[in-house]
Amino acid sequence: MDLDGPLDFENEDPLVNPPAAIEKRKKVIGLDDLLSDFYKEKSKVIDKQNKKRKVTKVYDSDDDDELGKVAQLSQCVDECHSQMNEIAGDEDYQEWGLCMFGDQKAPLPIPHLDLDSCCLLKEFMDDQLNLMVGLSVNEGTTFLEGLLVNGWLTKLILTCARVEKLICKWTLNILLYSSKEDLRSSACDFWCSILLSQNEVNGAPVEIKWLPNYQELKEALEIYGFRLNSSQDVELTEADSEFQGPPQNIRAWLKLVTACCQIRCKNPIFSTSQVEQIAEILVLLLLDRGLLGLPLLLQECLTSVVGSFKDEEWVSSCRKIATSLASRVPEDMNCLRIVESVSGVDARSKYLRSSIANQILVVLLDHKDSDENLLSSLMSINVKEKGCNLFKTYIFVVLAENWLFSSKLVEEKPVLKDMWAVFLRNCSCQINSTDLRPYASKVRTKAAYLLQGCSCN
């Protein structure tokens, strides 16, 4: 036994006695192996390219789908929009407004004052005060214009309590035709002051040697381009000329008419038929959008004209005014506007509003019988029919309301109130909330609202 030799377990240790290396045999690579490796690598490249194409195709298809959905949604929205426009087209384009003024004519020239015939200026020229002023005869017109603008002419006339014909005509022409605002408004104030002095109780009225008549005011309107009797006055047109449209002098014209009618009880400047024509003109002026800035002045003038009628002539005159207006107003939103424009709360304004609404209903329904038959025609309207013109039905509802309740007609004939309630019930109950016909919702809502008030009464 070799004591210096390794122990048995040490011989088994691979670190002490590592196993003999096994020599590997080299493999011979042939041509088939090279071809196989080449095709494997090529197939991997092809697979990678196919995967990229699939990813790109999926991405592009998602974009196409998204764009297709957007296009479909846009087309759907456009179709809905066009359908809604077709449904509500009548409502969108129903406007009120009449072009009552056409081409204006050349205004009348302001007449030159004959200073030798003007007593007021002649007396001033002879006065010793003129020695200080040094006013010549040629400067007389300019001097009077200065007095007019500064208000001294009005004060002088009110103090003298007399105005001569020459001054009256001169100031009236300035009022009606002057293009200068200061002269025009001053002449208007002058005439309003001397006319309204006739109504003063304590002070002495001014003695007016000459007053304007209806023909002169009518001639001024014709020069302004107002269509008095033309059948074209009911057309809604746009102004296409610088000489077309409401004139600047219409404000002064309205103020003059207001003052003339306020003194009609003491000094009847206009006849009854002339006042009827003036009232008709004023109501038509309320339909002109070019005068939207003058509603208060127009209403004040209309109230003055309506109040100038005598009690015994008012009822017949009101009927004539309403009949004439109903024959001139077109069958559109102007029917409602003309009734709403007579907005006075006094008894006569309400009666005029009721008469106009009644006469328009007579024209629209072609029914000239009794009030009961007129309401029967309204009750016979079948709002459920597709061919029913709900726009006209809406006009009927508004007109009938003003006709019945702007006067005491319902109090005098209670049966009319019952027939009115039946008509309203038909309009509110026989039109569904899903009805998309033009003016269906307006008719239903308006009728339901009026029916509620009618039931409360």
* Tens digit of each residue's pLDDT (9 = 90 or more) over 181-195: 999 999 999 999 999
The closest alpha carbon to 192, from 238, 251, 247, belongs to: 251
Question: What distances in angstroms separate CA 36 from CA 42, 44, 266, 343, one per listed residue?
Answer: 10, 13, 128, 103
Q: DSSP of 150-203, one letter per residue?
A: HTHHHHHHHHHTEE-HHHHHHHHHHHHH---HHHHHHHHHHHHHHHHGGG-SSS
According to the model, what pLDDT value does residue 41 have? 76
In the numeric block, which tokens belong to residue 106?
A: 């050349």
Question: What distances in angstroms separate CA 5 from CA 16, 17, 19, one per listed residue?
Answer: 13, 13, 19
pLDDT-derived band at 9, boundaries 50, 70, 90: low
Distance CA 285, CA 275 (A): 15
According to the model, what pLDDT value does residue 240 have? 44
Q: At 321, is the secondary structure helix, strand, or coil?
A: helix
Residue type, 120: L
pLDDT-derived band at 78, boundaries 50, 70, 90: confident
Tell me what the pLDDT averaged over the chain comes to.
81
Quick check: 28 pLDDT over 80? no
The per-residue pLDDT for range 392-434, each reduced to its tens digit, is: 999 999 999 999 998 888 888 889 999 999 999 999 999 888 8
Question: Model pTM?
Answer: 0.76
The per-residue pLDDT for range 210-222, each reduced to its tens digit, is: 999 999 999 999 9
According to the model, what pLDDT value does residue 237 have? 43
Bigger pLDDT: 282 vs 60: 282
